[in-house]
Structure 1
Amino acid sequence: MADTAPYEIPPSVLAPASQRLVLHRRGSTVWQVETEQGRYAVKLGYPIEATPEWPAQEWTALAPAREGTVLQQLNRAGVSFGEWDHGTWNIQPWYAGTSLYDLWRPHRVDDALSEPDPGEASSCAEAVAELHASGWVHGDIQPAHLITSTAGTKLIDLALAHGGHIPPSYDFSYRGCLVHYESPEVSRAVLTTGTATPTQAADVYALGASLFISATGLRHVAYPDDASRPDQRRAVVEGPHRPVDVPGTLGRLIEAMLSPNPTDRPTSREVHGELINAS
C-alpha cells in the first residue's frame, strides 16, 4: 500500500480536462486523463522512503523518464517526459483493453468452460516477439502489462526495458521484477549480486508464468503469501515449478517456456507461431 496521498499532476506537466486515479503505490502515481487531443496515461515517479519493512529506493523517481526514453526509441507516438519536484514524469497514449489475468478470469472460476483461447495467448506472444525483434527486452512481463483488445495485445510498462541508449541521469540497475514472473537465472543473479541482466529468454519465462497464473490462478512456483522477496527468489531458483495442467498446445508451450535452462526455452516468435497454428 502507498504511504502517502496520491500526487496531483503538476500544472507544469499537464492541465487535463478530466482525470481519474488509476494506480497509487509506493514510488508511483498513475492518472488516466482526457485532453482535447485524446486520452493519456500520466505517470509520476518519486523516491520511496525507508520503512521497517522496506528499504529506501531512489530508482522509482527515475522510472517514468526512463520509460519515456524507451518508448521514444520504439517510435511510440504521443510520448513525452520530464522532471518535476519529486522525480520524473511521462505522458503516453492510454491503451484501452483488459489485462490477460482479467481476460481469463472466467476460465479460473468455471471449470465447465473450455480452455483459454490460444489466439489470445498468441496475441500476447506476438507483442513480446515484436519487442524482441526491435532489439529490446521488456524485463517486467506480467499479466497486468499485457493489455488485450479487439486490436490485439499491447505490452505496457517498459521502465525496466533494455536494448538501447538510456541517458545516465535516468538510468538505474536492473534489480529483477515481480518475483512471481522471474526466471531462475534472474532470481539467482539478484540473490547473488543484487542485480541481473534481463534477456529475451527471461522474458519468455515471464510470459509462460503469466499465461500459467492467468489460466489457473496459481503462481508457477509455490511459496507462502507472506514470504520475503529473498525467500520467494530462493523458491524460484530451487524449483521445481508447479505441474502445468493447462491442456493442449498452450499447456505444452507453457511447460517449455518454464524450463529452468534458458537455452531450452522456445523464442517468443516460436511461441507465437505455434499458438497461431493451434488457434
Structure 2
Amino acid sequence: MTSTGPYEIPAHVHSALLPQSTRLVVDRRGSTVWDVQTSNDGRYAVKLGYPTEPHPWTAVAPAREAAVLRQLDRVDRVYSGEWDEGTWNAQPWHEGVSLFDAWQPGRHHKHPKEPDLADAHACATALATLHAAGWAHGDVQPNHLILGPAGAGAFLIDLALARGGKVPDIFDFQYRGCLVHYEAPEISQSILEFGTATPTMEADVYALAASWFISATGWRHVSYPDDAERKEQRQAIVDKPHRPINVPGPLGKVMESMMCRNPADRPTAAEVCGEVRNAF
C-alpha cells in the first residue's frame, strides 16, 4: 500500500496531546511532521509515518525511533502508537536552527567563509554523546543537526535508522542507506552490492564532515549530476575521491581526516571534539 501525505494529526493523538496550536513542518518520504504546542505539557514534534513506494518501512519508522529514544533515556516524554496509515510518535521539540541554515551566510562554492568552530564543536559533541551510548545514527545530515540557543549546544535528531540496541521486531527493518549526499563510500558500496548496509560510527563521522562541507560550500562531497539516479550517485561515491576540502581555517584539516576512504583511519567523534576544541 502506498499513501500520499500530508496527514492531519489523528483524533486519538490530538485528544492525548490537546494541542493549543499546530504547524506543519514537513511532509516527505513517508513522514508528516507537525510542530505542536500544548497548553500544559510543552512543545512536541509529532511524526506520522506512512508507507511509500519503494519504502514501505517509513510507516513504522516513528515507532522505531520512539523505541531508540527510550533506550537512550535522553528524554522523558516520548509517546508512540499506531494510526490508520502506520505509526506515530511525539517527542519534545528542540528549539534552534539547522546547521545548513546557520551556515548559509558564509556558504560559497569557491570562497566559503571560515565556519564557526563553536557550532562545529557542538555538532561533534552531539554525535560523540550518541556514540558513547553505543549507538550509530545512520542518517547524519545538516538538517538533523539542530543548533540550539546560545549555550544550549546541538541536538542530533531523527533517530529512526539508528543501530545499537534491540527494538521490537514488529517495528524493525533493514538499513538501506540514508540521504546519499552524506553516505560514506563503504555504505554506498554495501548497498550497491547487497541492497543493505550496517550503520557504523565511522560512517557517521564521515557524514558529519560531509554535512559540514555542504553547509559551508554548497557542494556535495562527491560530484554527480543533480538528476542522477540513486544508483548512479552511489557509484560515484564509490568510484570518485571526495571534492577538495576548500574550507578555510582549522576545520578543513579535521574534515580531511574524517573523510578518509578507510574507515579505520578516521578519528572517532570524541577525537573530532578534541581536535576542534584545541583549534579554538
Instruction: Report the TM-score range of the alignment, normalised by the length of the smaller protein.
Output: over 0.9
Name the counterpart of 2:87.
Answer: 88
Name the counterpart of 1:20.
Answer: 23
**Bigger mean CA deviation after superposition, 243-252 or 134-143:** 243-252
* 8 Å CA contact 2:23, 2:34 repeated in 1: yes
SS of match in other structure, 2:11: coil
Name the counterpart of 1:133.
Answer: 132
Instruction: String of CA shifts for 1:195-254, please: whole Å, max 9, x gaps.
Output: 000000000000010011111110000000000000000000012110001123200011
SS of match in other structure, 2:33: strand
Q: 2:57 aligns with which of 26, 46, 59?
A: 59
SS of match in other structure, 2:60: helix
Q: After TM superposition, which residue ranges in structure 1, 4 or more long, deviate above 6 angstroms?
A: 110-113
**Bigger mean CA deviation after superposition, 103-112 or 255-264:** 103-112
TM-score by length of 2: 0.94
* 8 Å CA contact 1:67, 1:157 repeated in 2: yes
TM-score by length of 1: 0.94
Change (3 A) 1:106 1:81: same
SS of match in other structure, 1:203: helix
Name the counterpart of 1:196.
Answer: 197
Distance 1:136 1:235 in 2: 28
Name the counterpart of 1:145.
Answer: 144
* 8 Å CA contact 2:260, 2:266 repeated in 1: yes
Name the counterpart of 1:252.
Answer: 253
Name the counterpart of 1:211.
Answer: 212
Distance 2:270 2:112 in 1: 28
Distance 2:5 2:107 in 1: 34
Amino acid across the alignment from 1:25: R
Name the counterpart of 1:264.
Answer: 265
Name the counterpart of 1:124.
Answer: 123
Name the counterpart of 1:220.
Answer: 221
SS of match in other structure, 1:30: strand
Amino acid across the alignment from 2:195: G
Q: CA deviation at 1:277?
A: 1.2
Name the counterpart of 2:32.
Answer: 29
Instruction: String of CA shifts for 1:31-65, please: whole Å, max 9, x gaps.
Output: 001112111000000111x4xxxxx3210001000
Instruction: String of CA shifts for 1:94-141, please: whole Å, max 9, x gaps.
Output: 101011111111111599885111121011000000000000010000
1:41 and 2:45 are equivalent in the alignment: yes
Amino acid across the alignment from 1:43: K
1:98 and 2:101 are equivalent in the alignment: no
* 8 Å CA contact 1:3, 1:26 repeated in 2: no
Change (3 A) 1:216 1:112: closer
Distance 1:110 1:242 in 2: 11
1:187 and 2:188 are equivalent in the alignment: yes
Instruction: String of CA shifts for 1:128-155, please: whole Å, max 9, x gaps.
Output: 0000000001000000000002201000
Structure 1 alignment gaps of length 5 or more: 51-55
SS of match in other structure, 1:12: helix
* 8 Å CA contact 1:106, 1:113 repeated in 2: no
